Amino acid sequence: MGQNGPVSTAKGTALPASITVLLPDAREQRPIDATTTGADLFGDDRSVVAVRVNGELRDLSHELADGDEVAAVGIAEPDGLAILRHSCAHVAAQAVQRLRPDAKLGIGPPITDGFYYDFRTEPLTPDDLVVLEKDMARIVKERQRFVRRVVTDEGASAELASEPYKLELIRLKGHNADAEGASVEVGAGELTVYDNVRRDGAVAWKDLCRGPHVPHTGYLGNGWALTRTSAAYWRGDQRNDQLQRLYGTAWASKDDLAAHKRRLEEAAKRDHRRLGAELDLFSFHDLVGSGLPLFHPKGGVIKRAMEDYVRARHVEEGFDYVGTPHIAKEDLFYTSGHLPYYADGMFPPLLEDAVRDEHGVVVSGGQAYRLKAMNCPMHNLIYASRGRSYRDLPLRFFEFGTVYRDEKSGVVQGLTRVRSITQDDSHSYCTKEQAPDEIRHLLRFVLSLLRDFGLDDVALELSTRDADGKKKDKFIGSEEQWAEATEILSQIAGESGLPVVDDPGGAAYYGPKISIQARDAIGRTWQMSTIQYDFNQPERFRLEYTASDGTHRQPVMIHSAKFGSIERFMGVLIEHYAGAFPAWLSPVQVIAIPVAPAFDDYLADVAARLRAHGVRVEVDAGDDRFGKKIRNAATQKVPFVLIAGGEDVEAGAVSFRFRDGSQRNAVPIDQAVADVVAWVAGRRNDSPTAEARA
């Protein structure tokens, strides 16, 4: 600990200086002297990597001042992990420049689960990564201190004369600090260099950086690893130099690193892109394009089960089923405001009757059409197609609308991020007074739907506009309209009793939204359904209804997608169930496997009886041996495997084999059929076993 006590002034009079230490559940007043640092307060605790002083993250070596509010930043909390990960990026960069002295430094920010650092150098090979990790381990062992040093622009430019990208960042300082990741190295304030100092005082390496960092490299322990490399462009712009991006992961401990690796393995096993091919559910083809899925018959079964379910539920919940085209004149989207507010998400215009020159450039004519990115504008036109009375409200339109969004090929991913998106999209038109109840109704509907598909661990996210941030121009409508809509959604989210996370700036341009985040079987969260309050489109489309007093009023419109998108929801279901779907969703519910070909016909009869009850059943009468057929059924994750051999035939029975390997033998056929039919009808989301019966 530092010398506690009054601070002596030049004149020798004593002024009491003190700080407030913020503890997890208390505030503590403590005297300090002129040199007290975060390390004096928390340095003995190796789980503390930095301090938060008056809300700002600082190095532990930061000197505290009278009146400061100081809190410890733990290694395992998000800010602590980011500091640890970024410090690990320094260690990786030091190792790279020892291996490749002419490698030029880009930037090295922390990212989810780890960090990267960019270099201009020849591509790094897997063998290079092994060498680099060894050298990083040495640097960690040396416990090199991270020492902060304030420098002038000129001083920094001279010191870093051989680092062209750092020089560029110095020039950018204060102008364009949000260049991809650049805010890690230079903020708007003073420039700082961090020296990595060995115990003998020698500077091992240095980097232009804002910090903070862990006190010394020993804090990294053995909870880190290099993971991969990729190509990247300087400042994310493909007109700039191509760099090599080195990725790593870093955690508070070796155990946390091991747990992270296990999560990755578990996620890889569940990867819906891999399972989609193995289970023959869907594919993508170059001739169609990225992000545009083709559903195969087995994927089609799941898709249809989802569609049948959600269509029936919408009808039960009072929605009218409508249909609209995939393209419309561009003017429609100007009316709705999607142009220009959502222009980035839309495909470029298609031109009808355009006259083009030999280069394909339009020289005259041409009515511009757009692939729709939203269904709402067309639903608005259905609303406006005739007069509406207050007695008609709420009026609810629903359809499976396939919309098209121009996602960049880099972000398209399997079914979870596609460019053709089939939304189970609805729009409720109601009076302002009816809006809260309609939103409650939609939230109940959505939560029951997620539960029916086995996603019952959910939280809500409340997305509002960015009132003063840099995106504030992306939202339309008045202050009061936003405040009122946000208040209603916030109140209803609160009433639900579910956890609510705020998402400022995440709203659609036309109004705030509640989105429902579901946690899957391995703890990952996915954004699924949305409920959005819209006061803008009714105004833009001049929608109205006749009130009970005969006046014309404007309805409120509530957008809602329950699955969100059929594609994404299916992708999430595949990963949640790791391909072992609930029986009611399984493409093949029963596979019948004869012990020998002599029993093919016997099982074909049993299958016909199941099929008569609507069960999806196959008989494997192929040439494979019995054992191979059983293994195939397991790979296909079929919930019910029916087996018949000589004894079964004599007894008029079959045997069940389940996903968990358990068996029920000699079940009379009537009983077996009844059990399967009851299980499927029960829409249970667990897997049948010898014990678990309908």
Stretch that binds Zn ion, among 167-175, 555-563, 598-606, 655-663 (CB under 5 A): 555-563
Is 559 a binding residue for Zn ion by CB under 5 A? The answer is yes
In angstroms, the CA 353 to CA 30 distance is: 78
Minimum separation from the CB atom of position 398 to Zn ion (A): 11
Structure tokens at 119: 């270099």
Task: Point out the catalytic residue in the list 405, 419, 441, 616.
Answer: 405
242 is a catalytic site residue: no
Stretch that binds Zn ion, among 160-168, 308-316, 557-565, 599-607 (CB under 5 A): 557-565
- Identify the three-state secondary structure at position 57: strand
272 is a catalytic site residue: no
Nearer to Zn ion, 214 or 669 (CB): 214
Q: What are phi and psi of 93, to 5 degrees?
A: -65, -40
Nearer to Zn ion, 209 or 306 (CB): 209
Task: Point out the catalytic residue in the list 104, 235, 441, 559.
Answer: 559
In angstroms, the CA 514 to CA 460 distance is: 6
Minimum separation from the CB atom of position 510 to Zn ion (A): 9
571 vs 270, 577, 659, CA distance in Å? 10, 10, 21
Minimum separation from the CB atom of position 305 to Zn ion (A): 25
Strands ordered across the beta sheet of 525-534: 320-321, 395-404, 420-430, 556-565, 525-534, 513-519, 458-464, 500-504
Is 507 a binding residue for Zn ion by CB under 5 A? The answer is no
| Length of the chain in terms of residues written | 694
Helix axes of 254-270 and 566-576: crossing angle, nearest 10 degrees: 120
Cβ neighbors of 690 (< 8 A, separation 6 or more) are: 656, 658, 662, 663, 664
Is 458 a binding residue for Zn ion by CB under 5 A? The answer is no
Minimum separation from the CB atom of position 435 to Zn ion (A): 15
Minimum separation from the CB atom of position 508 to Zn ion (A): 8
Minimum separation from the CB atom of position 16 to Zn ion (A): 36
Among candidate residues 136, 47, 76, 49, the one with its CA nearest the CA of residue 259:
76
- Identify the three-state secondary structure at position 623: coil
Number of residues that bind Zn ion (CB under 5 A): 3
- Class of residue 215 by CB neighbours under 10 A (exposed 0-12, middle 13-18, buried 19+): buried
Nearer to Zn ion, 67 or 340 (CB): 340
Residue pair 54/60 in contact by the 8 Å Cβ criterion:
no
Task: Point out the catalytic residue in the list 94, 423, 532, 589.
Answer: 423
Task: Point out the catalytic residue in the list 59, 118, 424, 425.
Answer: 425
513 is a catalytic site residue: yes
Stretch that binds Zn ion, among 59-67, 444-452, 522-530, 559-567 (CB under 5 A): 559-567
Residue pair 598/294 in contact by the 8 Å Cβ criterion:
no
Stretch that binds Zn ion, among 48-56, 310-318, 449-457, 556-564 (CB under 5 A): 556-564
Nearer to Zn ion, 509 or 569 (CB): 509
**Cβ atoms within 10 Å, residue 390:** 15
Task: Point out the catalytic residue in the list 173, 427, 441, 637.
Answer: 427
- The mark string for 409-428 relative to Zn ion (x by CB under 5 A, - otherwise) is --------------------
427 is a catalytic site residue: yes
- Class of residue 246 by CB neighbours under 10 A (exposed 0-12, middle 13-18, buried 19+): buried
391 is a catalytic site residue: no
SS (HEC) of 578-613: CCCCCCCCCCCCEEEEECCHHHHHHHHHHHHHHHHC
Stretch that binds Zn ion, among 237-245, 394-402, 476-484, 558-566 (CB under 5 A): 558-566
The residue from 83, 209, 373, 514 that contacts Zn ion (CB under 5 A) is: 209
376 is a catalytic site residue: yes
**Cβ atoms within 10 Å, residue 679:** 23
Nearer to Zn ion, 60 or 376 (CB): 376
Nearer to Zn ion, 371 or 376 (CB): 376
Residue corresponding to tokens 């062992």 = 141
Cis peptide before 394 (omega within 30 of 0): yes
Minimum separation from the CB atom of position 376 to Zn ion (A): 3
Residue pair 163/193 in contact by the 8 Å Cβ criterion:
no
- The mark string for 365-404 relative to Zn ion (x by CB under 5 A, - otherwise) is -----------x----------------------------
413 is a catalytic site residue: no
List contacts with Zn ion (CB under 5 A).
209, 376, 559
Q: Which residues are catalytic?
A: 376, 405, 423, 425, 427, 513, 559
